[in-house]
Every structure is written in C-alpha cells, then in structure tokens.
Amino acid sequence: MSNEQKVAVITGASQGIGAALVRAFQAAGFRVVANSRSIQPVDDPDMITVAGDIADPETAERIINAGMQRFGRIDTLVNNAGIFTAKAFTEFSTRDWERNISTNLAGFFHITQRAIEKMEKQGFGHVVQITTSLADQPVSGVPSVLASLTKGGLNAATKSLAVEYASRRIRVNAVAPGVIKTPMHPPETHAGLASLHPVGRMGEIEDIVEAVLFLERSSFITGEILHVDGGQSAGR
C-alpha cells in the first residue's frame, strides 16, 4: 500500500463530532486511524479502528503503532475525545475529578507525545485539540470548573507546543466550541442552550468539522485557539 496519502488519527471517533470528523477527513482524501472505547472494526483499506480508553498509555501506543504499520505515517492528530461534567464546584466527587483528568488531560498527553514523536521524524505534522469556549468565557448558570481546568489546560498546552515545535514544521492548534447540537443535548434543552450564544442558536457538528479542516489547510496558522461559539467568547 502506498504511503503517500496523508493519515489522520482521530480520538473519540465513534459518534457525534468525532464520527463526522472521520467522514470529513476521508472525503478530503486522508486515511484515518479512529479510536474510541466502543468503536467497531471496519472493512475499509483506508481506515483502521482501535478500541480502547484513550487515558491508557497502552491504547495510545496501539493507535500510533497501528497507523504506522498500516500506512507508514501520521500527518494529523485530532484530540477530540473528552468529557464535560456540569456540576456545582462543591458537588464534584473524587471520581468526577479522576475521570476528567484522565480523559481530557492524560488522554491528550499520551497520544500527542507519541504522535509528535513520529511527526518530528518525518519533518512535519499537525495536532488539533477540541476544547471549550467556556475556558475563556465562563457563563453564569453553566458550572464548568473541571472543563475549564482541563480544557483550559489544553489551550495553554496548544500554545506551548506550537512554539516548541514551530521550527520543526509541526503545527498545533485548538478549536474551542460553544454548545454544539449533539445527541447529548435533548431537544427540550435546545432553546435554553441557544440563548447562551449571541447569534441565538446552538452550533452544528458541521461548524466544528469545518473549523478543524480550515486549520488543517492553513499552513501559516499555529498556536491558534479558534473559537467556534456563536460569539460566546466575545462576551455577553
């Protein structure tokens, strides 16, 4: 199999934004290595699925090894896997803390470290995190301390890595969404959630996909936190 075709690794890829990213990168001509805890095998020569918990370093190792063995390269990593736990600060449990830290931060660390190692050897690459606009612009009535702590950490890491690896032609960016219309938000909540954005609507999955592809195609952009939030980060 030729290894000239670009390869994207996408975490949290079995549903919602992650599944849409898989389809979009395939449509853009990429081969894809897709991961989630529950992802199923596929009969597609241009796609590999790797099931496992992204917080486990062994899962990260299997994902990167699978991509290198099948396709011979890793061009783009999209760190989409993540969780959001909306609770008042004093109601968070130790388990909530551990789950958010392990998925949002440890998951990012293990897979990104291994992906950048491969990108550095091939002389180029691109890493994109999906974070949250709430890290920069908290909203009254939407408790988000663990999201801000973890996803805000990813925003900071994005800038740090962008500077560290710029001279080695590895770009690092993030997309910070507002509230996106996915199955996790029941229809009866949509009107209230839409009101959180100055534009008066929730975001669509395609809004996030288009932002990731924009960054993928923009070779002079690195260290960017691209807010795709209907104006939420501008203030209310």
The residues facing 48 across adjacent strands are 33
Helix (H, G, I), strand (E, B) or coil at 116: helix
129: closest CA among 102, 163, 161? 161
Provide the pLDDT for residue 62: 98
Q: Which fold has domain 7-226?
A: Rossmann fold (3.40.50)
- Convert 10-34 to b/e letters by CB count within 10 Å (16 or more is b): bbbbbebbbbbbbebbbeeebbbbb
Furthest CA-CA distance within the chain: 54
Helices assigned H by DSSP within 106-204: 107-122, 145-165, 190-194
- CA distances (Å), origin 150, targets 22, 106, 216, 218: 24, 10, 24, 26
Provide the pLDDT for residue 194: 86
Dihedral Cα 181, 159, 86, 141, nearest 10 deg: -80
Per-residue pLDDT of the chain (236 residues; tens, 9 = 90+): 556 899 999 999 999 999 999 999 999 999 999 999 999 999 999 999 999 999 999 999 999 999 999 999 999 999 999 999 989 999 999 999 999 999 999 999 999 999 999 999 999 999 999 999 989 888 887 888 999 999 999 999 999 999 999 999 999 999 999 888 887 788 888 888 888 888 989 889 999 999 999 999 999 999 999 999 999 988 76
